[in-house]
Chain A
């Protein structure tokens, strides 16, 4: 797969501040040698990178390179998979998410998630948005919370007359925006998006991308995408993961081979494999 034979370049996170036009004022996540295992097999190996506040950070790479696994380790969704295990440290601001004292439920309140396939609850549109705030015991007026979340997700005008109808009556794109509304209704700081547009048509995809650029003003977004154009269009920072094989080719795992400003990744990458991948020659 890797004809060039160049060694994997481990990006030193401190370098990232120096180049690029984006202001990296504040870190949200600081990953330190993060490896994720499913049982005995390693899925993601040794990832160290920083994710910045009010940025869109894209994780790209070929199928099976562990993008989603890495994403799910950022809000402890991997805990739900029996046998999954995270090594290393994931600092969210100052605290390690995998510290023994940390309650995963608290983590997910602050770090929301949108999934690949729209997964609205089998309830009304209103109930879908209100479920999170109700579960967290938010005291504000529920109608206001729902309206604000739907407005922020650019969905309010389309659904304001049918808030109490079943969410399954919506189109796929609307359902996915409902899932985004649902995620921001609990006022998280970060939204993780796992290939949010892969089940959607181009028009809906465009709407979600516009929405992400809008949401970036208030939220930090980490998006996994298999669509390089999408990463190029919306993200500020891009990490490219690749599948690595061990010497006897029995074990395979994902590694971050380059993490940088999106512009740099797509125009002037350091690793030749990045250049080959983004230009469509490998992967």
Chain B
């Protein structure tokens, strides 16, 4: 039985404790100077690595804030860009463009990524060569440079078979293809992490494979799948290269629409401002970075909140 009351330390117990401590020290002996130096040095090296990584990131952030701080105002968010009035120019079409594109990306990657992961984990027979080929290629696709996806988007989505033109929807499809491997790989990991005992328990109750999948496996793997989606969105928001290939270069001064007309996105707009010689535009670009980080943070915290709601343990 555990009692909450602490046993009072009489002289005798104190002596016994001291004796036990003395005994344990003599049994285990002292560590050598080399061991002690190692146990200090190794964490120090690790800490240094972490510090270097964080310093790069932090200096970028600090620089953006210092440069962009004077321009952090409502105009930045609500005004259209302008080449004439850098003091009041903003990012409105670019923010909207990014939000549209990312919304499209989410709509595409969640069903496609989860569907592909379910097929590969639950239904695909790994003995078959085509399933192994698919697996191998998904891993390879995750490492393909994004500009290649830009060329793909230009050839097959903007022009070619789909022929959608230079619109935000084309950008959504292209970026979705770009980040799909990330989502598939993360979703597969999440599905695989559901213990077999959960599946067995469900099947043993007379549930079908589909019921087991939809009511046990998928709910249990939702946090992991959402993590993959978060990573994918984070990457998609920052991508500029493929967007340059598929038409986001237009200097858009009006609100974009998803299915027609020119559009731009935050990273492209930032680039657009940053390449101008005037100091004001550079500051505007720095402020734009802060806006982009804020959008990223906002979307990610929503996804994290969603993930925590589904977080489960077994």
Q: Is the CB of B313 within 8 A of A122?
A: yes
Q: Does A77 contact B (CB under 8 A)?
A: yes
Q: Is the CB of B204 within 8 A of A122?
A: no
Q: Bound state CA distance, A193 and B198, in angstroms?
A: 16
Q: Is the CB of A121 within 8 A of B203?
A: no
Q: Bound state CA distance, A182 and B197, in angstroms?
A: 14
Given A115-B197, A131-B215: A122 in contact with B314 (beta carbons within 8 A): yes
Q: Does A179 contact B (CB under 8 A)?
A: yes
Q: Is the CB of A168 within 8 A of B201?
A: no
Number of A-B pairs, beta carbon distance below 8 Å:
72
Q: Does A186 contact B (CB under 8 A)?
A: yes
Chain A residues closer than 8 Å to B195, beta-carbon distance: 119
Residue from the list A112, A117, A131, A135 in contact with B197, Cβ < 8 A: A117
Q: Bound state CA distance, A132 and B201, in angstroms?
A: 10
Q: Does B207 contact A (CB under 8 A)?
A: yes
Residue from the list B200, B312, B314 in contact with A77, Cβ < 8 A: B200
Interface residue tally of chain A, by bracket?
Answer: 20 to 34
Q: Bound state CA distance, A179 and B200, in angstroms?
A: 12
Residue from the list A122, A166, A182 in contact with B205, Cβ < 8 A: A182
Chain A residues closer than 8 Å to B216, beta-carbon distance: 121, 131
Q: Which residue of B lies closest to A110 (CB)?
A: B206
Q: Does B211 contact A (CB under 8 A)?
A: yes
Chain B residues closer than 8 Å to A105, beta-carbon distance: 203, 206-208
Chain A residues closer than 8 Å to B220, beta-carbon distance: 122
Q: Which residue of B lies closest to A179 (CB)?
A: B201
Q: Does B88 contact A (CB under 8 A)?
A: no
Q: Is the CB of B200 within 8 A of A80?
A: yes
Identify whether the interface residues of B are mostly helix, strand, loop, or mixed: helix
Chain B residues closer than 8 Å to A75, beta-carbon distance: 204
Which residues 110-149 of A sit at the B interface, judged by CB distance below 8 A? 110, 112-113, 115, 117, 119-122, 131-132, 135-136
Query: Taking the nearest CB of chain B, how far is it from the CB of A139, in angstroms?
Result: 16
Give a binary string over B207-223; 1 marks a CB under 8 Å from any A CB, 0 the rest.
11001000110011000
Q: Is the CB of A122 within 8 A of B312?
A: yes
Q: Does A183 contact B (CB under 8 A)?
A: yes
Q: Which residue of B lies closest to A118 (CB)?
A: B197
Q: Is the CB of B206 within 8 A of A106?
A: yes
Residue among B201, B216, B219, B220 having the largest count of chain A Cβ atoms under 10 Å: B201
Which residues 157-200 of B sit at the A interface, judged by CB distance below 8 A? 195, 197-200
Given A121-B216, A122-B313, A122-B314: A131 in contact with B207 (beta carbons within 8 A): yes
Chain B residues closer than 8 Å to A80, beta-carbon distance: 199-200, 203
Residue from the list A119, A121, A132 in contact with B206, Cβ < 8 A: A132
Chain A residues closer than 8 Å to B219, beta-carbon distance: 122
Q: Does B202 contact A (CB under 8 A)?
A: yes
Q: Which 6 A-B pairs have the closest CB atoms?
A: A109-B206, A132-B205, A119-B197, A122-B312, A113-B204, A135-B207
Given A108-B204, A121-B198, A135-B206, 9 further pairs, Cβ under 8 A: A80-B203, A119-B200, A122-B219, A131-B202, A131-B215, A132-B206, A168-B314, A183-B204, A183-B205
